[in-house]
């Protein structure tokens, strides 16, 4: 029991530490696709260290909410990393929170960062907050519907049970999961502020969503927010892999050797996923902000369609 | 001497409320008497009622008959698990609101304080009597008293014309609903002409008449609860009333309508039909989305909260619809899950909606502004109120680990079982209701970020806001009470679920069982199927935040400097550059355009004095209420022809009637 | 429920992909994407016909699969590409309703089709009879696409997609149509497309645009 707990905490800490590496890998793949050399996969770590060493500069009108918000966001993402089966099925808190609670946790992080964006009272902060809540308002139901489809197939909302059922299933292909997969990819792109919803490397404030909210942050606060964003990408990718490509996750009763296998397979899957994400980002163009609701409405309706297809076909 | 029964204790306390109210008339203009003595006593009575009701929950139902009432129908009272639960809701919420009111009401605002005390406590007493009533007469008398006393409370500042017309609209629609209820009771007695609820339970109605009764009950209670299209009074009346009264109306009065609908459909007509559940679910889903969309575009903070109440009532109605659906199709344990989620959400909504209305009351008192466009940055001047409002905002947005999330989680779990329903189209359409539910909940988070951000965060939009003062001690006590109930109900759902099990067993015959919740986690169906541990969430986030904070301080440093805001280097930043309430709601207005009736005046580039105006109104008013109003006026004009003013003509009318009656009878 | 055979699993997957592609057609603005989606639909159809041919041993279905491959994946998309290049249309930016509303109506149509198809599916004896609902949904969605578009080319593609849906219903639920009917339908579709292509040139000559609202001016006021 304690061994499981330690193993679970180890996997959570590993994913928290490795999250910037995934982000660095995605950026490196994007650079290669754009025929550049890129900054190397360890660049996010260098950025984090540089930011942590600086003095935090806070605007005159900031409230305690502004200073507390990065910590809350990072804490929420760490908690999510402890719930999602990233390497092994027995994440430490996986039995205390199901997928719906996970969606609520992401909503908590989003509300806090949006409130922090409105805190200083600048035009861009509230612009970013408004757009972030718009994206969240449409992507959260889509995510819930994807989880619903998976839960209907597996008769449970707990992620370990879902992963176990899907990994040992007899049907090779679930058509409703095909819809859910497309919808989930679209939601992943939207929630993590990737192209085509938001450009993570843009410098034009009027096109920003996530960056506009965090314009006033600096030093360790900004470092925590960047890390939380990387962790969110890691969490979402892990959820996607757990739902759609669940083979290879360490089973509940495996020992340390099973954990090694789990780590290796997860690393391979994340590498492939990062490369695919970079490819999607390179071939797509960023949407105008008012095309974003259409994009997300498509994701939502696809997820609902997956639910209906499950009802009709029984799979 | 034996201990008094719970029902006797509760009834005595309710009478105590009325006595307190009458005591206010002794010194009607003395503010200290009313606010330092009477209102706190009223709060104590509320807490005591909640405590006695909690004790009475697991006990079998108690009945009593009062010596007053009609000649052959004295008033019957009944305290069973459902009544006890709603008494807990009323008592818990009213305690916090009464303490707040003690600090809130100041002299010189319309009605005298003593009169206000009478109206307030009669309102509370009548709501408790509605929940305790066991026959139609007692129910209708209490219902009417509730409507009348709340009308007087709404029109406290009766010198303002808008408030008078809002009160009139409220009273009108309350009575239209009451007519529906009277007719419903008339159908329910099923030929026995006995109007006690016991007789109605025994009456065996045919499915057609049962549907008629249910339809009338839905109409009557839907008017009081604010179901679309009967909701038009809510956004007018709730902002017009003083804030504690708005809190009481939104938080508690709307729940008596929920009580009534549950009592009639699950207790008096104990075999619901599945089509009722489907209709209620569809209406509830539409109401929820409608309320959320309208709340997102409001510019008045109390109207925003009123529309948000409509949204939550819609969610509660979807829960009732699910319960009826499961019950009608024979899945009693699933119906128990849905009913538990519904009642839990009613309790939660009472807490956080009252908390937010009271916070707006403090803001209104401090700044004199209800318009969101003139507020901002109040977290610096009013830190206590902002802190409590943050709790309310997070709770209402349905974020873990507070209470709003628990009830939404339970309802979503109930939705997950709907694809296995044995009825043909239902198993495909009801999951779509889950999609609408998720959409409404997500939009609620949007609305609340707007509410909190525009009022408390950012910079002050008016210079006068620098004079804002924080809430007084009594107001803070009331806010603390409600915020702590939000936290406790969120972290320890086991208490509520065990209580709700008694209600489930009473109404449905099946409960969720004791394995449904433990002090650590919530596992309503089975631990392998679904689990949520609010304590794990709360402690997990707290531990993670603390660990990160200490780690960063240890590894690096905690130095902070203050400087001007960056804002990408724009030099001249004023407070008017941040989002207004309309600006924040603009995406929703664009996406959900067809929901509104938009009148927009956009300046042209050639205007010497450009002017922008936006007016968003409710289409239902123009589709339903204006035509009815015109028809009533037209027919009244026609009938008015009879009134010529000549005495000879009136005498002629009497003569003709007398002659006709004589001819007819003889 | 016993595990269905790999063949019926593949057909279910094909049905889901067909529904996905017709939904994607509903939300696309670029005409080139519409043609590519149509080619994808044709590919799915020919693969599923081949699978049905393999499981039932009906060799004429192989010929049918080859015919749909030739026609729907190669010939018709080529004709449409040529039309698009010569008429110089790229985008169909104006739709009658906005895209989210169209998709919402699409979902309602799908629910309706599923509900309608359930009793009909009981009449068939094939294992994959539940795909009738999906086929019906594809037909109705393509009809919806035809209604909500303004450019004539999109309407032609919608018409062709409808035929795809009907074809899928035939193969999956009744294991194919008689060969004569098949050939006749294929010929109709080909000739129809050619004639419509000629029409488009005439329309473009007359109005200098392929926007259909110009055709409304033809009525006498």
CA angle centred on B133, ends B132 and B134, rounded to 5° = 120
Do both B620 and B499 map to the same domain? no
- Find the mean pLDDT for residues A86-95: 78
pLDDT of residue C94 exceeding 70, the answer is no
Structure tokens that stand for A119 in this block: 């805190």
User: Is the link from the previous residue into C137 a cis peptide, with omega within 30 of 0?
Assistant: no
Give residue B401's domain range: 272-509
Chain length of chain C: 221
**Is there a contact between B429 and C100 if contact means CB atoms under 8 Å apart?**
no
- The pLDDT of residue A254 is 66
Domains: count for chain B = 3
Q: Compute the nearest-CA separation of B578 from chain A (Å).
A: 4
Strand partners, B300: B371
The answer to whether position B228 is within a domain reads: no
C19 φ, ψ to 5°? -65, -40
Pairwise CB contact (< 8 Å): A57 & B438: no
Helix C152-174 / helix C76-87 crossing angle, nearest 10 deg: 170
Pairing type for strands A56-59 and B596-601 reads unpaired
List subunits contacting chain C, requiring 3 or more Cβ pairs under 8 Å: A, B
Confidence band for C13, pLDDT divided at 50, 70 and 90 = confident
Residue B115 neighbours by CB distance under 10 Å: 18
Single out the residue in B478, B509, B540 at which a domain terminates: B509
Helix crossing, C6-27 with C152-174: angle to 10°? 160
Domain end call among B509, B528, B560: B509
pLDDT tens column, A222-266 = 999 999 999 999 999 999 998 888 877 767 666 677 778 888 888
Interface of A with C (CB under 8 A): 170-173, 175-176, 178-179, 182, 293-294, 297-298, 301-302, 304-305, 308-309, 311-315
| Whole-number Å distance between alpha carbons of B226 and B254 | 8
Rounded Cα distance between B659 and B652, Å, is 10
- Kindly report which listed range (A87-91, B327-331, C63-67) carries the lowest average pLDDT score: A87-91
Q: Which of A7-11, C3-7, C197-201, C205-209 has the lowest mean pLDDT?
A: C3-7
Across the range A279-303, mean pLDDT stands at 89
| Residue B61 near residue B49, CB atoms below 8 Å | no
Query: Which tokens hold the place of C196?
Result: 């419509």
Say if strands B62-70 and B73-79 run parallel, antiparallel, or are unpaired: antiparallel
Strongest mean pLDDT among B354-358, B423-427, B616-620, C77-81: B354-358
| Whole-number Cα distances in Å, B516 to A161, B58, B338, B400 | 19, 17, 13, 19
Examine residue A196 and say whether the peptide bond preceding it is cis (omega within 30 degrees of 0): yes
Cβ–Cβ contact B532 with A under 8 A: yes
Quote the ipTM score: 0.93
Describe the crossing of helices B254-262 and B332-367 by its angle, rounded to 10 degrees. Answer: 170
C-beta separation of A225 from A217 below 8 A: yes
pLDDT tens per residue across span B80-115: 999 999 999 999 999 999 999 988 887 666 678 888
**Closest C-alpha among B183, B185, B158, B184 to residue B171:** B158
Structure tokens at B306: 């009123």
Q: Is residue B248 within 8 Å of residue B123, measured between CB atoms?
A: yes
Give the integer Cα–Cα distance in Å for B653 and C90: 80
> B284 vs B156, which has greater pLDDT?
B284
Domain termination residue (choose one: B142, B176, B202):
B202
- Could you tell me how many CB contacts below 8 A there are between chain A and chain C? 72
B248 to chain A, closest Cα gap in Å = 28
Q: What does pTM read for this prediction?
A: 0.91
Q: Are C111 and B432 in contact (CB under 8 A)?
A: yes
What backbone torsions phi and psi does residue C97 show, to the nearest 5 degrees?
Answer: -110, 160
CA distances from B611 to B299, B300, B605, B606, C167 (A): 18, 20, 11, 12, 59
Residue B572 has pLDDT above 80, yes or no: no
Q: DSSP labels for C178-220?
A: -HHHHHHHHHHHHHHHHHHHHHHHHHHHHHSS-BGGGGGGGS-
**Which of A69-78, A221-230, B17-26, C85-94 is predicted least confidently?**
C85-94
Contact residues of C toward A, CB < 8 A: 1, 3-4, 6, 9-10, 12-13, 15-17, 19-20, 23, 27, 98-100, 103-104, 106-107, 110-111, 114, 117-118, 130-131, 133-134
Residue A315 has pLDDT above 60, yes or no: no
pLDDT attached to residue B1:
41
Report pLDDT for A49.
92
Neighbours of A125 (CB within 10 A): 30
What's the confidence (pLDDT) of residue B109?
62
Co-location of B189 and B288 in the same domain: no
CB-based contact A313 C130, cutoff 8 Å: yes
CB A294 within 8 A of CB C100: yes
Whether residue A76 contacts residue A94, with contact meaning beta carbons closer than 8 Å, is answered with no
Rounded mean pLDDT of chain A?
88
pLDDT in tens, A121-139: 888 888 899 999 999 999 9
Asked whether the predicted pLDDT for residue C84 surpasses 90, the reply is: no
- With 0-12 / 13-18 / 19 or more C-beta atoms within 10 angstroms meaning exposed / middle / buried, residue B279 is middle
Pairwise CA distance, residues B402 & B355, whole Å: 14
The lowest-confidence range among A147-156, B398-407, C194-203 is C194-203
Q: Give the minimum alpha-carbon distance from C7 to chain B in angstroms, rounded to a whole number.
A: 26
Separation CA C154–CA C135 (nearest Å): 20
Cβ contact C20–A170 (<8 Å): no
**Cis status, amide bond into B170, omega within 30 of 0:** no
Classify residue B562 as exposed, middle or buried by CB count within 10 Å of its CB (0-12, 13-18, 19+).
exposed
Instruction: Check whether C221 has a pLDDT greater than 80.
Output: no
For residue B616, give how far its alpha carbon lies from the nearest alpha carbon of chain A (Å). Answer: 20
Region C62-83 average pLDDT: 86
Residues of chain C whose beta carbon is less than 8 angstroms from a beta carbon of chain B are 100, 107, 111, 114-115, 118
**Residue B49 is assigned to a structural domain of this protein:** yes
- Fill in the DSSP letter of residue A49: H
Do B8 and B104 fall within a single domain? yes
Residue for token pair 């105006």: B613
| Chain A from 93 to 112: CB within 8 A of any B CB | 93, 95-98, 100-101, 104-105, 107-108, 110-111
Is residue B489 in some structural domain?
yes
Verify whether the Cβ–Cβ distance B564 to A130 is below 8 Å: no
pLDDT in tens, B34-82: 888 889 999 999 999 999 999 888 888 888 888 887 777 788 899 999 9
Q: How confident is the model at residue C1 (pLDDT cuts 50, 70, 90)?
A: very low
Cα–Cα distance for residue pair A211/B326, rounded to 1 Å: 46
Residue B531 contacts residue A95 (beta carbons within 8 Å) = yes
Judgement on whether residues B160 and B276 belong to the same structural domain of the protein? no
């Amino acid at each position: 029991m304690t061994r499981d707990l330690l193993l679970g905490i180890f996997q959570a800490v590993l994913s928290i530490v490795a999250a910037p590496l995934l982000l660095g890998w995605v950026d490196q793949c994007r650079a290669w696709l754009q025929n550049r050399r890129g900054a190397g996969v360890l660049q996010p770590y260098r950025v984090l260290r540089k930011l942590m060493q600086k003095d935090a500069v806070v605007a005159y009108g900031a409230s305690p909410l502004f200073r507390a918000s990065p910590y809350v966001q990072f804490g929420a993402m760490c908690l999510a990393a402890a719930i999602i089966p990233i390497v092994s099925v027995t994440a430490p808190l996986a039995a205390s929170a199901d997928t719906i609670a996970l969606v609520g946790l992401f909503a908590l992080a989003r509300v806090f960062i949006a409130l922090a964006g409105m805190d200083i009272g600048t035009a861009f902060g509230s612009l970013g907050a408004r757009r972030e809540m718009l994206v969240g308002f449409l992507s959260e139901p889509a995510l819930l519907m994807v989880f619903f489809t998976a839960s209907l197939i597996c008769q449970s909302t707990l992620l370990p049970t879902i992963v176990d059922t899907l990994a040992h299933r007899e049907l090779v292909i679930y058509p409703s999961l095909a819809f859910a997969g497309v919808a989930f990819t679209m939601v992943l792109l939207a929630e993590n502020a990737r192209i085509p919803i938001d450009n993570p490397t843009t410098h034009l404030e009027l096109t920003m969503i996530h960056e506009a909210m965090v314009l006033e942050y600096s030093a360790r606060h900004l470092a925590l927010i960047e890390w939380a964003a990387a962790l969110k990408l890691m969490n979402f990718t892990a959820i996607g892999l757990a739902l759609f490509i669940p083979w290879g996750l360490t089973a509940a009763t495996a020992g340390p050797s099973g954990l090694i296998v789990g780590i290796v397979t997860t690393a391979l899957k994340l590498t492939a996923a990062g490369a695919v994400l970079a490819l999607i980002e390179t071939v797509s163009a960023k949407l105008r902000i008012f095309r974003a609701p259409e994009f997300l409405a498509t994701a939502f309706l696809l997820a609902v369609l997956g639910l209906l297809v499950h009802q009709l076909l029984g799979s | 001497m034996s201990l008094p029964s719970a029902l006797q204790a509760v009834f005595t306390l309710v009478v105590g409320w009325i006595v307190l109210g009458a005591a206010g008339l002794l010194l009607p203009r003395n503010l200290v008497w009313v606010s330092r003595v009477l209102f706190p006593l009223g709060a104590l009575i509320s807490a005591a009622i909640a405590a006695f009701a909690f004790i009475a929950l697991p006990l079998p139902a108690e009945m009593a008959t009062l010596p007053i009432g009609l000649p052959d129908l004295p008033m019957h009272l009944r305290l069973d698990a459902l009544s006890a639960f709603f008494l807990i809701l009323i008592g818990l919420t009213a305690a916090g609101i009464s303490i707040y009111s003690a600090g809130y009401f100041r002299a010189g605002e319309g009605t005298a304080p003593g009169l206000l005390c009478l109206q307030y406590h009669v309102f509370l007493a009548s709501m408790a009597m509605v929940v305790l009533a066991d026959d139609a007469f007692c129910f209708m008398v209490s219902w009417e008293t509730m409507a009348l006393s709340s009308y007087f409370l709404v029109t406290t500042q009766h010198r303002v014309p808008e408030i008078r017309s809002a009160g009139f609209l409220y009273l009108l629609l309350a009575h239209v609903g009451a007519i529906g209820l009277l007719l419903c009771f008339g159908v329910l007695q099923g030929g026995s002409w006995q109007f006690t609820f016991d007789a109605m339970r025994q009456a065996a109605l045919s499915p057609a008449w049962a549907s008629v009764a249910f339809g009338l009950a839905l109409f009557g209670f839907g008017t009081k609860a604010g179901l679309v299209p009967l909701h038009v009074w809510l956004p007018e009346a709730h902002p017009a009333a003083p804030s504690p009264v708005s809190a009481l109306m939104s938080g508690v009065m709307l729940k008596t309508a929920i009580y009534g609908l549950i009592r009639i459909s699950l207790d008096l007509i104990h075999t619901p039909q599945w089509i009722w559940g489907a209709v209620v679910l569809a209406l509830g889903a539409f109401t929820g989305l409608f309320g959320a969309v309208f709340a997102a575009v409001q510019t008045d903070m109390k109207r925003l909260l009123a529309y948000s109440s409509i949204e939550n009532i819609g969610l509660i109605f979807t829960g009732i619809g699910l319960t009826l659906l499961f019950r009608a199709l024979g899945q009693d344990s699933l119906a128990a899950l849905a009913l538990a989620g519904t009642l839990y959400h009613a309790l939660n909504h009472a807490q956080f909606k009252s908390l937010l209305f009271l916070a707006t009351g403090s803001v209104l008192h401090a700044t004199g502004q209800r318009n969101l466009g003139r507020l901002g940055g109040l977290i610096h001047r009013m830190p206590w109120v902002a802190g409590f409002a943050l709790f309310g905002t997070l709770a209402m947005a349905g974020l873990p680990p507070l209470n709003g999330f628990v009830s939404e989680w339970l309802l979503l779990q109930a939705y997950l079982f709907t694809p296995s329903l044995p009825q043909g189209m239902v198993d495909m359409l009801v999951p779509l209701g889950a999609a609408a539910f998720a959409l409404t909940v997500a939009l609620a988070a949007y609305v609340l970020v707007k509410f909190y951000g525009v009022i408390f965060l950012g910079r002050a939009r008016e210079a006068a806001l620098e004079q804002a003062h924080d809430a007084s001690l009594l107001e803070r006590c009331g806010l603390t009470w409600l915020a702590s109930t939000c936290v406790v109900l969120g972290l320890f759902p086991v208490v509520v679920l065990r209580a709700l099990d008694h209600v489930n067993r009473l109404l449905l015959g099946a409960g969720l069982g004791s394995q449904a919740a433990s002090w650590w986690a919530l596992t309503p169906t089975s631990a392998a199927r679904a689990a949520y541990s609010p304590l794990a969430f709360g402690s997990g986030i707290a531990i993670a935040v603390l660990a990160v904070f200490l780690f960063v301080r240890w590894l690096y440093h905690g130095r902070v400097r203050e400087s001007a805001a960056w804002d990408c280097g724009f030099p001249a930043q004023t407070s008017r550059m941040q989002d207004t309430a309309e600006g924040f709601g603009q995406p929703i207005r664009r996406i959900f355009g067809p929901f509104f009736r938009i009148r927009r005046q956009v300046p042209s580039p050639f205007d010497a004095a450009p002017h922008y105006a936006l007016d968003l109104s409710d289409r239902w008013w123009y589709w339903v209420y204006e035509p009815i109003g015109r028809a009533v006026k037209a027919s009244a004009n026609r009938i008015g022809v009879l009134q010529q003013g000549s005495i000879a003509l009136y005498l002629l009318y009497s003569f003709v009637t007398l002659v006709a009656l004589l001819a007819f009878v003889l | 429920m016993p595990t269905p055979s790999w063949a019926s699993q593949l057909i279910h997957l094909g049905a889901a992909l067909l529904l996905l592609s017709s939904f994607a057609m509903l939300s696309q603005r670029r005409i080139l994407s519409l043609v590519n989606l149509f080619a994808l639909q044709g590919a799915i159809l020919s693969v599923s016909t081949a699978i049905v041919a393999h499981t039932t041993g009906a060799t004429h279905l192989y010929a049918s699969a080859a015919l749909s491959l030739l026609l729907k994946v190669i010939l018709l998309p080529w004709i449409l590409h040529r039309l698009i290049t010569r008429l110089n249309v790229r985008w169909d930016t104006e739709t009658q309703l906005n895209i989210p509303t169209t998709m919402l109506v699409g979902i309602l149509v799908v629910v309706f089709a599923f509900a309608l198809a359930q009793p009909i599916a009981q009449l068939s004896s094939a294992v994959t009879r539940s795909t009738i609902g999906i086929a019906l949904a594809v037909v109705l969605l393509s009809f919806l696409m035809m209604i909500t578009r303004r450019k004539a080319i999109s309407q032609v593609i919608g018409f062709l997609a409808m035929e795809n849906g009907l074809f899928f219903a035939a193969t999956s639920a009744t294991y194919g149509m008689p060969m004569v009917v098949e050939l006749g339908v294929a010929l109709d579709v080909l000739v129809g497309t050619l004639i419509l292509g000629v029409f488009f040139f005439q329309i473009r000559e007359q109005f200098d645009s392929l926007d259909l609202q110009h055709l409304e001016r033809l009525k006498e006021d």
